[in-house]
Structure 1
Amino acid sequence: MNNRWNKLIYRAGAPFYDVLFNAGPFARARKKVFADLAPEPGQRVLLVGVGTGADLRYFCGKKLEITAVDLSEAMLAQAKIKVDENEHIRFLEMDAQDLRFNDQCFDLVIASLILSVVPDEHKCMSELVRVVKERGRIVIFDKFKGGEGGMPLISRMLRPLIALLGTDIGRDYRSMLKPHLGRVILREDSPAMFGEMYRKIVLERK
């Protein structure tokens, strides 16, 4: 995967994305992941890879300072439609692997279905950790390789084909987290959908 290919894929898929990833089990999983976060009024929230804005409903109307970034202009256009004109949300076209923000400037960072999409998940994770404040939280909702062993044969066979659709089913979240465990505390790691495949991970910056 690379950013140019991802832009093409998500520009084509933007009109249909909500039908697939903001309904049914995905909608129920998102509610489970985000509904109990309870950020405090005035906190700065960053949604990395906001896509068509499926997660915005959990943060709008709570007097938060919200910034939403995505690599795809088409996805951002869909997200803006979902926001009431009274909501002041900053939408920025930006690469999740190179967040153009100062260190430790957000109280809450949301990474929903982005670590399985970016070309370099380790670079993206480093950026998530860099921009969150001390005692701030990073909340991840994504799909990862299950277990600590290798992938099943069928998954290994399907992985390169699925990658053509702009996502990777074989990434290991443990390897992403390991370099940062001196700076973050793993507060939660729980299944969110489809057995062990989709997970909710909550990190707190030390």
Structure 2
Amino acid sequence: MNMHAVEQENPNSEKQKKAYRFWAPIYDEVYGFFLKSAQHELANRVGATAGSILEIGIGTGLVLPLYPKECQVTGIDISDEMLSRARKKVLDDGYNNVKGLYTMDACNMTFDDESFDTISLPFVITLIPDTESLLDECARVLKPKGQIVIVSKISNADGAIGRLQRAFSPIAQSCGLSSSFNSASVEAWLAQNPAFKLLENRALPPVGFFRLMHLCRS
């Protein structure tokens, strides 16, 4: 790893770290059931092309058992408490395809350029305030022909649902939870980065509350 740095800090990071210290012991029980279907969709899409995977916001490692064994997985998170639980899973369950788990800021990663074939973003993009900086950093560490797969609570609605999500956003962020996020933020970044194409942007079953966005570098 090199010491590349992006001059961008998440102003909510300390608040989020504090919240995750609370959530870490109960995160799997609270979220595991509700996120399982969407996590399977993410892992299937990410694992379609065997290679090196970077999971940003790996948390307690809920997605780790879902990736194909032939893929090489690296994970980062800002929470030491969450990562300690992910590391325990790696040891206890023998996830030999996990190459490393690191405490790291997604907008200030220390990986070399063009390090990964695929970047996996499960339920984390809503928590990073600068989507452009995040995706710029993802593009930096992504190999040519690489892909970025996002699964999250993403709204593309401007109506009552969108207004409700935006109103709830400050409360959610104060708890370290997902906040309002509009898919237009990703689409705006794509417009400035023509080397990337949006292959897929769809609501996930059964109720469509979560969305999957699949980006590919040409």
Letter in structure 2 aligned against 1:120: D
CA distance in 1, matches of 2:95, 2:121: 25
The alpha-carbon distance between structure 1 residues 162 and 86, as it changes in their structure 2 partners (threshold 3 A), is closer
**TM-score, with structure 1 as normaliser:** 0.87
1:203 aligned to 2:215? Answer: yes
CA distance in 1, matches of 2:25, 2:85: 8
**Greater helix fraction, Structure 1 or Structure 2:** 2
Deviation at 1:154, TM superposition (A): 3.5
Deviation at 1:17, TM superposition (A): 0.8
- Contact 1:146-1:196 at 8 Å conserved across structures: no
Letter in structure 2 aligned against 1:99: M
* Matching residue of 1:51: 59
The secondary structure found in structure 2 opposite 1:108 is: strand
Q: Deviations over 1:106-148 (max 9, x none)?
A: 1011011111112323211221222111111111011122325
CA distance in 2, matches of 1:93, 1:173: 27
Deviation at 1:78, TM superposition (A): 1.0
- Contact 1:115-1:125 at 8 Å conserved across structures: no
Q: Bigger shift: 48-57 or 180-189?
A: 180-189
Letter in structure 2 aligned against 1:31: H
**TM-score, with structure 2 as normaliser:** 0.83
Deviation at 1:196, TM superposition (A): 4.2
User: Where does structure 1 lack aligned partners over 5 or more consecutive residues?
Assistant: none
Deviation at 1:71, TM superposition (A): 0.6
1:173 aligned to 2:179? Answer: no
Deviation at 1:163, TM superposition (A): 2.0
Q: Bigger shift: 139-148 or 154-163?
A: 154-163
- Contact 2:156-2:184 at 8 Å conserved across structures: no
CA distance in 2, matches of 1:150, 1:99: 37
**Aligned residue pairs: how many?**
202
User: Where does structure 2 lack aligned partners over 5 or more consecutive residues?
Assistant: 1-10
Deviation at 1:99, TM superposition (A): 1.4
1:28 aligned to 2:37? Answer: yes
* Matching residue of 2:72: 65
Deviation at 1:54, TM superposition (A): 0.9
1:187 aligned to 2:187? Answer: no
Deviation at 1:158, TM superposition (A): 2.3
Letter in structure 2 aligned against 1:119: P
Letter in structure 1 aligned against 2:88: I
**1:102 is matched with which residue: 84, 109, 112?**
112
Letter in structure 2 aligned against 1:75: M
Percent identity of equivalent pairs? 26
